[in-house]
Structure 1
Amino acid sequence: MRISELAEQVGVATSTVRYYERIGLLSGPSRTASGYRDYDEDDSARLLFVTRARRMGLSCDQVSSLLGIWAGSHCANAAERVGQLIDEKQAEIVERIEELHGFAAQLDSVRDALRASSPPDGCRTDLTCCVPESPGPVVLDLVPRAR
């Protein structure tokens, strides 16, 4: 099947298929005489595996490690490792929620400081009139971390 058929069958964009090939999650397919990529059912199964793992929030590196365990036939080993990765992802989510609660509290503090006094006619040189100093640095990475 062609790349567009494979992508449609799994529910991803053709650019996603090409990206997964570039980074090694999918092997390069054979080519037709006219140079078109030619995928088979094994490619489809692998793409489906990769797509589902990515939709669970697993990083490409994590998916790559799973592919070595799964290889299309070691379901029990892959399922066990996926379970471990889910546990790790859950712990990461709990940690991120705690960080976000802390960040929300810091923002409440800043808002309270702004509301505590009327703004002056002109900005102060230290800008505390419109952007008060927060209680501490906000270290918040909104991009998911690779683990």
Structure 2
Amino acid sequence: MYRIGELAQLCEVKADTLRFYEKHGLLSPSSRTDSGYRIYTEADAERLRFILRAKAVGFTLAEITELLSIELDKSNWACADVKGMVDDKLASVEAKIAELNHFQLSLQRLSQACCGGPESAEHCSILEALESNTDSIRCENDKHSFAEHEFTKACTDKQDTI
């Protein structure tokens, strides 16, 4: 039997986390003492570990709730149901990664198109690209040092597409 602080310490989370999971229906104490303290069993500790592992691989609270309902009633579910949830989550993560890769490439192109010098931002290629309705970046006039030769070479045609 564990009190809330003991279970929190055992699973390396804060007691507030347990209260949060209780509030959202993921975890509830097996009983309470006469003075109202939450009492958790080893089964509750295992449930918390399940929740934490599911959270660690990216499942949301709603998805964890669904996984817990499957866990409690395994005989009425197929492995395909659980695999489907994991495959859906994987597809979602892959889509987010693709989106982040697009953001990264776009930001790199914006950064490379700008000299970053102390001159006025009146002709800043980053601002111009963000203000325009096109997907192209006009590289600023070249006042770069020899060390920035690669950037200069990339801007010789004065166009760089986002």
Kindly tell me the number of residue pairs found equivalent between the two proteins: 131
Q: Percent of aligned positions with the same letter in both sequences?
A: 34
Higher relative contact order (CA 8 A, sep 6+): 1
Q: Quote how far apart the aligned CAs of 1:90 are.
A: 1.9
| Runs of 4+ with >6 A deviation | none
TM-score of the aligned structures, taking structure 2 as reference length? 0.66
Please report the RMSD computed on the Cα atoms of aligned residues, expressed in angstroms: 2.8
The answer for the alignment partner of 2:85 in structure 1 is: 85
Q: Assess if the C-alpha contact under 8 Å between 1:114 and 1:132 holds in 2.
A: no
Query: More strand by proportion, 1 or 2?
Result: 2
TM-score of the aligned structures, taking structure 1 as reference length? 0.72
Output the CA distance in 2 between the equivalents of 1:111 and 1:88: 34
Q: Assess if the C-alpha contact under 8 Å between 1:119 and 1:130 holds in 2.
A: no
Structure 1: any 5+ residue segments left out of the alignment? 137-147
Q: Assess if the C-alpha contact under 8 Å between 1:32 and 1:38 holds in 2.
A: yes
The answer for the alignment partner of 1:74 in structure 2 is: 74
Output the CA distance in 1 between the equivalents of 2:3 and 2:106: 52
Q: Assess if the C-alpha contact under 8 Å between 2:113 and 2:125 holds in 1.
A: no
Query: Rg: which structure is higher?
Result: 2
Q: Quote how far apart the aligned CAs of 1:9 are.
A: 2.7
Output the CA distance in 2 between the equivalents of 1:22 and 1:43: 15
Q: Assess if the C-alpha contact under 8 Å between 2:111 and 2:126 holds in 1.
A: no
SS at match of 1:131: helix
Q: Quote how far apart the aligned CAs of 1:98 are.
A: 1.5
Query: More displaced, 100-109 or 52-61?
Result: 100-109
- Counterpart mapping for 1:6-25 below 5 A: 6-25=7-26
Distance change in 2, residues 1:130/1:100 (3 Å): closer
